[in-house]
Amino acid sequence: MIDNVLKIKNGDTTGSVNDLLKEFLKSKKLQALLVMQEVPSKKMSFPVLISNPDKLNSNIFAPVLPVSTATIVSKITKVESSSKPIGVIMRSCQINALVELVKLNQANLDNIIIIGVDCLGTFSINTYSDFQEKSNPTEYILDSFKKKRDVVKYLRSACYTCKNPIPNNADIIIGLYGIDIQKELLIQINTKKGKELIHDIKLVTSKDIKNRENAIKEIREEKTKNRTKLIQEKSNIKGINALAKFFDKCVNCHNCMKVCPICYCKECLFESSVFNLEANKYISKAKKKGLFKMPNDSLLFHTTRMNHMVVSCVGCGLCEQACPSNIPLMDVITPIGDNAQKEFKYNPGSDIKEKIPMVIYKEDEYQEVGEK
Amino acid sequence: MVIEMEEFEPKIVGFLCNWCSYAGADLAGTSRIQYPPNIRIIKVMCSGSVDSVYIMRALLEGADGVFIGGCHPGDCHYLDGNYKARRKAVLLKSILETLGLEKDRIWIRWVSASEGQKFADTMKEMTEEIKKLGPNPIGKYWNI
């Protein structure tokens, strides 16, 4: 681990980072870069794949996660792994999701250089695009960070209860926590890949980053506290009554599944013809209970989806953001995920070599579940 | 006037693996061993192939119990399907809690092709246990 700092020019944080990113493209050390950039209307920022440094005007600290960047890296590398170096700039939750996708053989990290960014939290798409403050959302969140102003009222709940806003498994980290971002940014090199990318770029080697450790500890503690509180508060969503009520507004659009980085099936069982029954079967189904709600099987969909993804859930909250009925899905998924991950002592995204719990086993485990 | 209450007869959906448990159930039948007729058997190739959606569907449609039968550890026709089935059951049970269902509505047991008696005994035991738990409350819900 090598800590360098990037000096901020004229107080322009994003601009200074952009100069560094342009260097990567100009020197051809990266053939392309996946990074958040404002769309022309300036109302939204989306990930873009950039190859021309002159067109780069990234907004890497944009506090919004419109789509899963892990899914995009999977899209780029799944058909054929990259033969040329691509830099991908991601938040911690998305790097975790990418690690899970690699384990599930849905992405390939050959020639992918992961540049992680400390995450200050993200706003929902609508909060971001119709931002109520005078400054734009990116300026606002950076300014709030400098002045230690609370942004909780704008944060998505998934970010409020984030497990870890510091990237794990990144080749390079662009660090904010514990850094005086008025003057500088941390450029932390974690791997050989990262070192090769940065080696002839002029940076200042940092001597004093003691603040960072404390700042990281502080933010993790704060988020863990929020998370524990949420799990406690939502523990009353238990039992068929409460759960049926919770999913009352579900319209079976399956958006939560479509945006989930972990739900990778090409064709989801619930979108297939398996559940299209003959008219007579629908009638006998109605006769059994006297009536049933249509479209049917919404709770079956949600419980099955949880069974399939919850062990690898990174808590990005995209499911909740995509719900047209505003069902606070994370209120249920966070506690269930927490439980399941504890059961298998598994922390999604933490270790790329560790296999996912559903493909491994020990001969003498869980004997109380099977038989003694 | 004495009203005789009809005794609750649980409906159990059973997923039995082709190589061991199904053959075990078959042996129970051909050996004319009596066991409660509460189980509805579905043959699957391996206990490891029983996806959570099958089990969830049975329970949400109102089945009172789900039985998964696999080969004994080490005997799986596909080497390790039964171990994976067991892990799936662990995960499923942790989610069942949120649904407010008793974990013991899902049973996973090892029955070999030669264990007709064991299959019958397991069915007796399971039927008794599910009777104690009572009907699956989800059976009444039409709005899920």
* Per-residue pLDDT at A110: 94
Question: Residue A247 carries which DSSP code?
Answer: T
Q: Which of A231, A237, A240 to probe by mutation at the B interface, max B CB count within 10 Å?
A: A240
The C-alpha of A6 sits at a distance from chain B's nearest C-alpha, in angstroms, of 46
Q: Are A13 and A61 in contact (CB under 8 A)?
A: yes
Domain end residue (candidates: A215, A242, A257): A215
The C-alpha of B80 sits at a distance from chain A's nearest C-alpha, in angstroms, of 8
Q: Per the structure block, which two tokens stand in for B16?
A: 């039995």
**What does the pLDDT look like over B63-90, one tens digit per residue?**
999 999 999 999 999 999 999 999 999 9
**What does the pLDDT look like over A329-370, one tens digit per residue?**
999 999 999 999 999 999 999 999 999 999 999 988 988 887
The C-alpha of A238 sits at a distance from chain B's nearest C-alpha, in angstroms, of 5
* Per-residue pLDDT at A282: 93
The C-alpha of A319 sits at a distance from chain B's nearest C-alpha, in angstroms, of 18
DSSP string, chain B: --PPPPPP---EEEEEETTTHHHHHHHHHHTT----TTEEEEEES-GGG--HHHHHHHHHTT-SEEEEEEPPTT--TTSSHHHHHHHHHHHHHHHHHHHT--GGGEEEEE--TT-HHHHHHHHHHHHHHHHHH-S-GGGG----
Chain B residues close to A307, C-beta within 8 Å:
52-53, 56, 88, 91-92, 95
* Per-residue pLDDT at A18: 95
Asked whether residue A136 falls in the same domain as residue A236, the answer is no
Domain end residue (candidates: A189, A215, A241): A215
Number of domains in chain A: 2
Question: Residue A155 carries which DSSP code?
Answer: B
Which domain, by its residues, includes A347? Answer: 232-359
Q: Is the pLDDT of residue A5 over 80?
A: yes
Asked whether residue A310 falls in the same domain as residue A199, the answer is no
Asked whether residue A153 falls in the same domain as residue A201, the answer is yes
Chain B residues close to A269, C-beta within 8 Å:
53
Asked whether residue A211 falls in the same domain as residue A238, the answer is no
Partner residue opposite A240 with nearest CB, options B52, B108, B141: B141
* Per-residue pLDDT at A105: 94
The C-alpha of B27 sits at a distance from chain A's nearest C-alpha, in angstroms, of 21
Q: Is the pLDDT of residue A210 over 70?
A: yes
CB atoms A307 and B141 under 8 Å: no
CB atoms B144 and A339 under 8 Å: no
* Per-residue pLDDT at B4: 63
Q: Which residues pair with B72 in a beta bridge?
A: none
Q: Is residue A84 part of a domain?
A: yes
Q: Which residues pair with A188 in a beta bridge?
A: A3, A173
Asked whether residue A23 falls in the same domain as residue A161, the answer is yes
Partner residue opposite B80 with nearest CB, options A242, A361, A371: A361
CB atoms A243 and B98 under 8 Å: yes
Banded model confidence at residue B6, pLDDT cuts 50, 70, 90: confident
pTM confidence score: 0.94
Domains in chain B, please, with CATH? 12-135 (3.40.50)
Partner residue opposite A369 with nearest CB, options B93, B140, B144: B93
* Per-residue pLDDT at B94: 86
The C-alpha of B90 sits at a distance from chain A's nearest C-alpha, in angstroms, of 7
Banded model confidence at residue A100, pLDDT cuts 50, 70, 90: very high
Partner residue opposite A369 with nearest CB, options B52, B56, B89: B89
**What does the pLDDT look like over A177-197, one tens digit per residue?**
999 898 899 999 999 999 999
Q: Is residue A97 part of a domain?
A: yes
Asked whether residue A109 falls in the same domain as residue A250, the answer is no
Q: Are A135 and A77 in contact (CB under 8 A)?
A: no
CB atoms A304 and B83 under 8 Å: no
Q: Could you tell me the sign of the dihedral formed by the alpha carbons of A95, A100, A101, A105, in that order?
A: positive
CB atoms B98 and A370 under 8 Å: no
CB atoms A370 and B89 under 8 Å: yes
Q: Is residue A282 part of a domain?
A: yes
Q: Is residue A284 part of a domain?
A: yes
CA–CA dist A235, A248 (Å, integer): 18
**What does the pLDDT look like over A213-266, one tens digit per residue?**
999 999 999 999 999 999 999 989 999 999 999 999 999 999 999 999 999 998
What mean pLDDT, rounded, does chain B reach?
A: 93
Asked whether residue A236 falls in the same domain as residue A130, the answer is no
Of A230, A155, A205, A292, nearest in space to A7 by CA = A205
Q: Are A190 and A1 in contact (CB under 8 A)?
A: yes
Of A269, A276, A263, nearest in space to B54 by CA = A269
Q: Per the structure block, which two tokens stand in for B103?
A: 């974990």
Banded model confidence at residue B2, pLDDT cuts 50, 70, 90: low
Q: Report helix, strand or coil for A20.
A: helix
Asked whether residue A54 falls in the same domain as residue A126, the answer is yes
**What does the pLDDT look like over A36-60, one tens digit per residue?**
999 999 999 999 999 999 999 999 9
Asked whether residue A263 falls in the same domain as residue A184, the answer is no
* Per-residue pLDDT at A369: 83
Q: Is residue A220 part of a domain?
A: no
Asked whether residue A67 falls in the same domain as residue A129, the answer is yes
Q: Report helix, strand or coil for A367.
A: coil
Torsion of CA B136, B130, B102, B57, to 10 degrees: -50
Residue B83's CB is within 10 A of a number of other CB atoms, namely 22
Q: Is residue A143 part of a domain?
A: yes
* Per-residue pLDDT at A118: 96
What is the share, in percent, of chain A residues with pLDDT greater than 90?
84
**Better-predicted residue by pLDDT, A267 or A319:** A319
Q: How many CB pairs under 8 A join A and B?
A: 119
Q: Is residue A371 part of a domain?
A: no
Asked whether residue A200 falls in the same domain as residue A120, the answer is yes
Chain B residues close to A299, C-beta within 8 Å:
60, 144
CB atoms B142 and A290 under 8 Å: yes
CB atoms B108 and A361 under 8 Å: no
Domain end residue (candidates: A154, A187, A215): A215
Q: Is the pLDDT of residue A146 over 70?
A: yes
CA–CA dist A137, B118 (Å, integer): 66
CB atoms A307 and B52 under 8 Å: yes
Asked whether residue A211 falls in the same domain as residue A150, the answer is yes
Q: Which of B11, B64, B94 to probe by mutation at the A interface, max A CB count within 10 Å?
A: B94
Q: Is residue A100 part of a domain?
A: yes
What mean pLDDT, rounded, does chain A reach?
A: 93
Chain B residues close to A357, C-beta within 8 Å:
87, 91
Q: Is the pLDDT of residue B5 over 80?
A: no
CA–CA dist A23, A19 (Å, integer): 6
* Per-residue pLDDT at A211: 86
